[in-house]
């Protein structure tokens, strides 16, 4: 899952990046509203954490522009937005929610609470309400970041866990290699389509022990699907 943080307080931004990367997310960070606006036009994200008081374009203007161009098929059309505001800026919080933000947090805040809100918003953005994502005997606990197959824990690397999460959230649907790179990698990560093939191969070996598999659609991508009992 990939997150964009738009925050110009570099101390806070660094803390958020470290905490969310440690939690298994791919994280990118910008320090101005214009940079956030440009990133949202070119890269796909699963969540935007947006400070209101950004230089060179306010967070509210970034949000207004994002929602104004959010046609059904536009990039980041449905990306959830968590706005960060000063503790006394009630009017700005209301304005942000009215412009299309999904949640807000007033500064200062506890990182533990922010991580919980991030989990809730990313689940909601992909149409899931609970912390457990299931597909047949395969499940993923997004809070503890643990995978289970037939109720037995599966030992997976951080990258394999993130890959599994993306495939489970889109079970039964085709996911291209390019989409996987977009959702799994931050700016500067050296991850090629060939590397994605390696991660998929490793994940397959660990989870394809029951009625579930990662099907390859040649030239298009991958699909997590259940195997019929008589196949």
CATH of the domain at 58: 3.40.50.2300
User: At 167, is the secondary structure helix, strand, or coil?
Assistant: helix
115 and 38 share a domain? Answer: yes
120 and 136 share a domain? Answer: no
CATH number (domain holding residue 210): 1.10.10.10
For 30-66, write each residue's pLDDT tens digit. Answer: 999 999 999 999 988 989 999 999 999 999 999 999 9
Residue 226 phi, psi (nearest 5)? -90, 150
If one counts the domains in the chain, the total is 2
Q: Pairing relation of β-strands 221-226 and 212-217?
A: antiparallel
145 and 221 share a domain? Answer: yes
Contact between 214 and 224 under an 8 Å Cβ cutoff? The reply is: yes
12 and 79 share a domain? Answer: yes
Q: Cα 99 to the chain's mean position, in Å?
A: 21
113 and 160 share a domain? Answer: no
Cross-strand bridge partners of residue 81: 48
User: At 193, is the secondary structure helix, strand, or coil?
Assistant: helix
144 and 57 share a domain? Answer: no
Q: Tell me the HSE value of 20 on the side-chain side, using a 13 A CA sphere.
A: 29
Q: What's the domain range around 166?
A: 132-226
117 and 163 share a domain? Answer: no
**CA distances (Å), 79 to each of 121, 170, 210, in order?**
9, 16, 34
For 92-112, write each residue's pLDDT tens digit. Answer: 888 888 999 999 999 989 999
Is 82 a domain residue? yes
Q: Is the pTM of this model over 0.85?
A: no
């Amino acid at each position: 899952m990939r997150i964009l943080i738009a925050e110009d307080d570099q101390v806070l931004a660094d803390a958020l990046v470290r905490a969310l990367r440690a939690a298994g997310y791919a994280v990118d960070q910008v320090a101005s509203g214009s940079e956030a606006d440009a990133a949202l036009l070119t890269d796909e994200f699963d969540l935007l954490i947006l400070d209101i008081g950004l230089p060179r374009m306010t967070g509210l203007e970034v949000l207004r522009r994002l929602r104004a161009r959010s046609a059904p098929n536009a990039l980041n059309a449905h990306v959830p937005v968590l706005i960060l505001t000063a503790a006394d800026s009630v009017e700005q919080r209301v304005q942000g929610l009215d412009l299309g933000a999904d949640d807000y947090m007033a500064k200062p805040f506890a990182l533990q609470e922010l991580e919980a809100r991030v989990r809730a918003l990313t689940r909601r953005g992909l149409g899931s309400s609970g912390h457990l994502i299931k597909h047949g005997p395969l499940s993923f606990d997004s809070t503890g970041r643990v995978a289970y197959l037939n109720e037995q824990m599966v030992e997976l690397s951080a990258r394999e866990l993130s890959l599994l999460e993306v495939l489970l959230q889109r079970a039964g649907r085709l996911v291209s290699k390019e989409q996987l790179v977009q959702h799994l990698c931050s700016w500067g990560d050296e991850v090629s389509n060939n590397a994605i093939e390696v991660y998929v191969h490793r994940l397959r070996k660990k989870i394809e022990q029951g009625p579930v598999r990662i099907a390859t659609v040649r030239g298009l991508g991958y699909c997590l699907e259940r195997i019929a009992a008589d196949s």
